[in-house]
Amino acid sequence: MAPHFYDILVVGAGFYGATIAERVANVLGKRVLVIDRRDHIGGNAYSEINPETGIEVHRYGAHLFHTPNKLVWDYLNGFTAFTGYQHRVFTSFKGQVYPMPINLATICQYFGKQMSPDEARALVREQSAELGDAAPRNLEEKAISLIGRPLYEAFIRGYTAKQWQTDPTLLPESIISRLPVRYNFNNRYFSDKYEGLPVDGYTAIFERMLDNPLIEIQTGVDYFAIKDTIPKDKLVVFTGPIDRYFDYRAGELSWRTIDFEPEIVGVGDYQGTAVMNYADEDIPFTRILEFRHFNPERNYQTEKSYIVREYSRFARHEDEPYYPIDTPEDKKVYQAYRSLAEGEENVIFGGRLGTYRYLDMHQAIGAALKAFDTEVQPRLSRA
């Protein structure tokens, strides 16, 4: 499609961009050009079958779908059925294995005795007393307020040091608020009403969302390479990094990236579970994923397994930006970009890179559905 013949350009074929494209084509009957600089659609949720083992692998890290939002759940069920997968995580600390997130089993095992929910609560209250009544101001204080210092030092401090390499008193408390703390034996990782994995894998969702003759997809195309060919009045939804869009003129937003170290091991079951975290600071990786466990319903061969070790580090320009660090300095820089974005009349910034926010998949889809209703549809209907 030549630039003049589409109604909207969507930059990025992840969940945010794909949702906008799908709505514009299927609801408004307008033409969409979707570009992505990668050689595939799906953004970070992209998955593929590893040819040697036949196991589905999420190329950019394990992606577990969960949401409390019925609207998003119903929407996505229009493009895929979900398995009944429920995520559970374990963590290794000093040679012992504990359930994660921290729940009554973790607390009893760590302190080496059976406790009732009230007894465990009382113990944690005592162990978080150092904070007094002050509201927690950062990740460390929030974690201590939730679980007390000993559990923080065992399960959070080392892992967080490896994951963020940033003083935990400079990290926002929102990072740790993602993890529930439970005074019962429920060891599910997520608390949301809806959870599961797509029966045919993630990539199939995107193929179905974008399956409309009104949508043209061009992969391997970088927005900045074609920017000058785009008519100035064309509506653009941009889901790439907002600081890159403005050529870093207000500074660089800081991100964490992950080095994935895959290995095909000659055993049918390497670790007995999908995700094992490593809390000890002297073990360099943060966790090991074993992908076969995400799809127990599949008839995978049992001779080999596909595992991935994750190593976290600061992202440079050429790296994939994964987690916004969001220090107080980042917040200032992002605000400067928000002001610049106000001046870009025909560009809507969305998704996790475009808004510098950690978004779960359901939040990216929810935000895109909202932006479609409030921003995209009104503008395209006027045009």
> Which active-site residues does the annotation give?
178, 182, 256, 287, 310, 358, 360
With CB cut-offs between 5 and 8 Å by kind, which of ligand UDP, ligand FAD, none does residue 365 bind?
Answer: none
Instruction: Figure out which of the listed residues 100, 104, 353, 367 binds ligand UDP, where binding follows CB under 6 A.
Output: 100
To ligand UDP, the closest distance from the beta carbon of 283 in angstroms equals 12
Q: Interaction with ligand FAD in 198-227: which residues (CB under 6 A)?
A: 222-224
Nearest alpha-carbon partner for 101 in 179, 163, 173, 154: 179
CB-CB contact of 34 with 221 (8 Å): no
Instruction: Figure out which of the listed residues 160, 203, 271, 305 binds ligand UDP, where binding follows CB under 6 A.
Output: 160
Nearest alpha-carbon partner for 317 in 224, 225, 359, 255: 255
Q: Does 176 participate in binding ligand UDP (rule CB under 6 A)?
A: yes
Q: Does 159 participate in binding ligand UDP (rule CB under 6 A)?
A: yes
Residue number, 14 or 196, with CB nearest to ligand FAD: 14
What Å distances lie between residue 58 and 55, 62, 182, 307, CA to CA? Answer: 10, 6, 29, 11
Stretch that binds ligand UDP, among 70-78, 174-182, 295-303, 374-382 (CB under 6 A): 174-182
Record the tokens describing residue 78, joined without a space: 């229009």
To ligand UDP, the closest distance from the beta carbon of 171 in angstroms equals 7
CB-CB contact of 311 with 259 (8 Å): yes
Alpha helices in 154-294 (DSSP H): 158-164, 174-177, 202-209, 223-226, 242-245
Q: Report d(CA 63, CA 198) in Å as an integer.
A: 10
Instruction: Figure out which of the listed residues 6, 8, 10, 16 binds ligand FAD, where binding follows CB under 6 A.
Output: 16
Record the tokens describing residue 124, joined without a space: 């944690």
Residue number, 246 or 358, with CB nearest to ligand UDP: 358
Q: By the criterion CB under 6 A, which residues form the site for ligand FAD?
A: 11-17, 35-38, 43-45, 60-65, 222-224, 239-240, 258, 322, 351-353, 359-362, 364
